[in-house]
Amino acid sequence: TDRFDPAASDRRWQERWEAEESFRADSASPKPKSYVLEMFPYPSGRIHMGHVRNYTMGDVLARYRRMQGMEVLHPMGWDAFGMPAENAAMERKVHPGDWTRANIATMRDQLKRIGFALDWSRELATCEPDYYGHEQALFLDLFAAGLVTRKESEVNWDPVDMTVLANEQVIDGRGWRSGALVERRKLSQWFLKITDFAEELLDGLGSLDQWPDKVRLMQENWIGKSRGLQFRFRLADNSGDIEVFTTRPDTIFGASFVAISPGHPIAEALAAARPDVAEFVAKARAGGTSAAEIETAEKLGFDTGIEVVHPLDSGWRLPVWIANFVLMDYGTGALFGVPAHDERDHDFATKYRLPIRRVVAGDMAAASDPVTAAETGHGVAVNSRFLDGLASAEAAAEVIRRAETAGWGEGKTQYRLRDWGVSRQRYWGTPIPIIHCEACGAVPVPRDQLPVVLPEDVSFDVPGNPLDRHDGWRLVPCPSCRAPARRETDTLDTFVDSSWYFIRFASQPKDQPFDRAEAEQWLPVGQYIGGVEHAILHLLYARFWTRALERIGRLGVAEPFKGLFTQGMVTHETYRAGDGSWLSPTEVRRDGDDWVHIESGAPVTSGRVEKMSKSKRNTVDPEPILARYGADAVRWFMLSDSPPERDLEWSIGGIEGAARFVQRVWRLVQATGSGNGEDLALRRKLHRTIVAVGEAIEGLQFNKSVAALYELTSAIEKAGPSADRDAAVHTLVRLVAPMAPHLAEEAWAALGEPGMVVDAEWPEHDHALLVENEVTVAVQVNGKLRDTLTAPRGAAREDLQAMALGSDKIARLLDGGTPRKVIVVPDRLVNIVL
């Protein structure tokens, strides 16, 4: 028999599928629709193993749904804007567009060689005007609906690169490229009003029952709804007040200071008048703006000398400090500090020797226990006058009630979610379609002038955004008064691009972002698959964008992704040389119990198995593996070794095992066709496998479908020739088709089946064959297990009794005597009493 030749077969079937447009999704089809989507890749250069795993999973589901008779939309595109292209431009002097488009060409080619069932006719790249032009139109729709605002906000400013940095680009307070100390700066920026949707986005999580709980919880925490009290401290000199927000009104008698943000108007006014305050404010503003950064930075405070009056005790004065850990854009930019019950306040009070007073305890008896660390839990109020003895929640409600009655504060629901700042001072992104005019302000670019195309003639030899220097592009007349005006040079955050690409996949007319009716044919995405690193931002932004479109009447879908699956990573061994540098697993070899560097013979330490990454030099390029073993072996391995939500450890042994399986199936196919007669046991096994494989794919438990197919293959190999054996091979080919499609097509043709297996139906199972019709019956003598019988299910009592008494073991025990009594439980047990 011939060996299966993956190289030839991969090419042959990939060409056939393409020629016959097998995976083209027809929006007008009357069939039930299924939308399967994997998070689209960033075109960084080449496909990596993580992509292969992710897309293989989606592909199996898409192919399976197709065989089930559904019209499947399974598209692919490119999240093509972003920083790496600009870095490449600066480092290698290539234009970001050239770099990106070349990467797309390479990666498209690589994906095609894995044989994914993708509708390439819907391919899109977010960096092309025929995508981002529509995004600009949607941005203007949201602008017109009042869902876009411009406001001042604090950003991370890199004074050397002269650019704004995202929080992730600030490492230990320094710019990731320049290494310069980052400053906090106020800049006017564009925001999308995601906070208008905070409650809806929170509520909607309840309906997402096909999402992992952990992702829903992460989103819930990110939205961060809390109930609290907003109230005013009167300045002791009666010149005004300071408004604060607290989630713990019950701790109000534990206050030992009031702290305001360095950006608070009072701090700014003081700084303008006093150099010592100005100096402190400048220092406090150094460092990043991310919550993590602020939490871990050393607490810095400045006592302003100002005092406020406690709202529940007019004789009680509290000092007002400026503190670096108070955020300007959260709550009111001011808080009251309770060192006994808040960690940051505890650090602060310890450093600046402010009073630490317990006002919450497990019970009243613990009221005078010393506080050694912040106790942030709930309990009962102590040392709190009229609140003493009340549970924390009751005490909080009581304080809110008094504040509202007396008029010094109001109960308030607060969300941690901030409006989404979408301005990026970068070139390689969607131009924000706004023109700034001295007289008219921010004017939307007229619709007939969209897209605002990103100019390609730019240079990157100076730091900063080249659009700021491109006067030919930037300077335009005001669309409303014709006076000289200038284009907005900020571009949109790339998360905007990925917030609606799944809608554009579903419907892509030329003249508008999407056709509502067509998009609704497909949406919501039935199954979305991607990395858990997108559990918060991308998924939240896409949910927001979808709801915003719903609110402005452009789309009748509330939640974009019905099912979400977050797959594990692909991992590999790591090795380090004596100097700590990473070595690739291909550069080392085993030497007894140790590892050595092949080239130098120097000893090597083997590290942990970790996520494949360039920095640890433990990546494996899929391309040579594909060339050597074929697409099906790679796909099969990606699905086989681990549950899909867990990490998969790369091993060449695993790939070889998968390649051997491909050949085993091929051998069965070649030896098929001459069998006669029945093999009921094999037929039963087959039908159980049909059910098992289908259920496993539905449940995205691909490793289980693989295991079931291994079992079936072994059973067929062991069975003697029969008509059932031949039939089982034909069915096996359909069952492996979603996972090993090239092998399946080749086999389908070799078996003489008509058409292609991609167009074949998923096999049906015969329910009657699923029922096990043999049972194991225990035989006891005086209550002790002595033997077991295999009997037909439902056998009569008399038959079971006769079988039991006739067994050799039991006959020996009876030794010719007659039992006193025999108790039979059908299908289960025969108990012989002597």
Binding residues for ATP: 614
Give, in order, the Cα–Cα distances in Å from 218 to each of 106, 214, 386, 647, 746: 35, 6, 38, 20, 46
Separation CA 74–CA 172 (nearest Å): 42
Among ligand ANZ, Zn ion, none, partner that 247 touches (CB below 5 to 8 angstroms by kind) = ligand ANZ
Closest to ligand ANZ by CB, 338 vs 737, is: 338
Among Zn ion, ligand ANZ, none, partner that 481 touches (CB below 5 to 8 angstroms by kind) = Zn ion
The answer to whether the CB of 415 falls within 8 A of the CB of 198 is yes
Among ligand ANZ, Zn ion, none, partner that 330 touches (CB below 5 to 8 angstroms by kind) = ligand ANZ
Among ligand ANZ, Zn ion, none, partner that 437 touches (CB below 5 to 8 angstroms by kind) = Zn ion
Query: What does DSSP assign to residue 336?
Result: E
Among ligand ANZ, Zn ion, none, partner that 380 touches (CB below 5 to 8 angstroms by kind) = none
DSSP 760-800: SPPPP--GGGTS--EEEEEEEETTEEEEEEEEETT--HHHH
Closest separation in Å from C-beta 629 to ligand ANZ? 52
Residues 410-429 that bind ligand ANZ (CB under 6 A): 414, 416
Closest separation in Å from C-beta 454 to Zn ion? 23
- The owner of tokens 């479908």 is 705
Closest to ligand ANZ by CB, 52 vs 400, is: 400
The answer to whether the CB of 182 falls within 8 A of the CB of 158 is yes
Closest to Zn ion by CB, 484 vs 509, is: 484
Contacts of residues 730-737 at CB distance under 8 Å and 24 or more positions apart, as own/partner, are 730/672, 731/686, 731/690, 731/763, 732/665, 732/668, 732/686, 733/665, 733/669, 733/757, 734/67, 734/760, 734/761, 734/762, 734/763, 735/689, 735/690, 735/693, 735/709, 735/763, 736/665, 736/709, 737/63, 737/67
Closest separation in Å from C-beta 187 to Zn ion? 23
State in Å, rounded, how far the first CA of the chain is from the last one: 62
- Residues lying near Zn ion in the complex (CB under 5 A): 437, 439-440, 478, 480-481
Instruction: Quote the tokens at residue 459.
Output: 């240079």
Closest to ligand ANZ by CB, 285 vs 341, is: 341
For β-strands 380-381 and 360-361, DSSP reports them as: antiparallel
Closest to Zn ion by CB, 480 vs 703, is: 480
Closest to Zn ion by CB, 328 vs 435, is: 435
Closest to Zn ion by CB, 439 vs 770, is: 439
One residue of 87, 106, 247, 701 binding ligand ANZ per CB under 6 A: 247
Instruction: Quote the tokens at residue 698.
Output: 């539905």
Question: Does residue 248 bind ligand ANZ (CB under 6 A)?
Answer: yes
CA dihedral over 259, 262, 266, 270, signed as positive or negative: positive
Query: What does DSSP assign to residue 445?
Result: P
Closest separation in Å from C-beta 221 to ligand ANZ? 10
Separation CA 533–CA 251 (nearest Å): 37
Residues 252-271 that bind ligand ANZ (CB under 6 A): 261
Residue 409's nearest CA partner among 217, 231, 668 is 231
3-state secondary structure of 494: helix
Residues 720-779 that bind ligand ANZ (CB under 6 A): none
Beta bridge partners of 232: 243
Per-residue contact string for residues 306-345; x = within reach of ligand ANZ by CB under 6 A: --------------------xx--xx-x-xx-x--xx---
Among ligand ANZ, Zn ion, none, partner that 557 touches (CB below 5 to 8 angstroms by kind) = none
Closest to ligand ANZ by CB, 11 vs 418, is: 418
Closest separation in Å from C-beta 461 to ligand ANZ? 41
Among Zn ion, ligand ANZ, none, partner that 412 touches (CB below 5 to 8 angstroms by kind) = none
Among ligand ANZ, Zn ion, none, partner that 801 touches (CB below 5 to 8 angstroms by kind) = none
SS3 readout for 243-299: EEEECCHHHHHHCCEEEECCCCHHHHHHHHHCHHHHHHHHHHHECCCCHHHHHHCCC
Q: How many residues does the chain have?
A: 834
Closest to ligand ANZ by CB, 328 vs 435, is: 328
Separation CA 318–CA 698 (nearest Å): 62
Per-residue contact string for residues 203-242; x = within reach of ligand ANZ by CB under 6 A: -----------------------x----------------
Per-residue contact string for residues 342-361; x = within reach of ligand ANZ by CB under 6 A: x-------------------
Residue 575's nearest CA partner among 596, 558, 547, 553 is 596
Per-residue contact string for residues 363-402; x = within reach of ligand ANZ by CB under 6 A: ----------------------------------------
Closest to Zn ion by CB, 481 vs 823, is: 481
Closest separation in Å from C-beta 439 to Zn ion? 5
Please report, as ranges, the residues that interact with ligand ANZ according to CB under 6 A: 226, 245-248, 251, 261, 326-327, 330-331, 333, 335-336, 338, 341-342, 414, 416
